[in-house]
Chain A
Amino acid sequence: DVKVTQSSRYLVKRTGEKVFLECVQDMDHENMFWYRQDPGLGLRLIYFSYDVKMKEKGDIPEGYSVSREKKERFSLILESASTNQTSMYLCASTSGPAEKPQHFGDGTRLSIL
Chain B
Amino acid sequence: AQTVTQSQPEMSVQEAETVTLSCTYDTSESNYYLFWYKQPPSRQMILVIRQEAYKQQNATENRFSVNFQKAAKSFSLKISDSQLGDTAMYFCAFEGGGSNYKLTFGKGTLLTVNP
Task: Verify that A and B bind, or say they do not.
Answer: yes
| B45 neighbours in A (Cβ, 8 Å) | 90, 92, 104
What's the interface size class on B, roughly?
20 to 34
Measured CB to CB, the closest approach of chain A to B107, in angstroms, equals: 4
Of all chain B residues, which has the CB nearest A40? B107
Q: Which of A13-21, A65-73, A95-103 contacts B (4 or more CB under 8 A)?
A: A95-103
> Chain A 84-98, CB within 8 Å of chain B: the 1/0 string?
000010101010111
Enumerate chain B residues within 8 angstroms of A42, measured Cβ to Cβ. Answer: 6, 91, 105-108
Residues of A within 8 A of B6 (CB): 42
Q: Which residues on the A side are within 8 Å of B46 (C-beta)? A: 104
Whether a CB of chain B sits under 8 angstroms from the CB of A74 is no
Indicate the size class of the contact surface on chain A.
20 to 34
Residues of B within 8 A of A (CB): 6, 9, 33, 35, 42-47, 50, 52, 91, 95, 100-108
Interface residues of A (CB under 8 A from B): 31, 33, 35, 40-45, 48, 50, 56, 58, 88, 90, 92, 94, 96-99, 101-102, 104-107
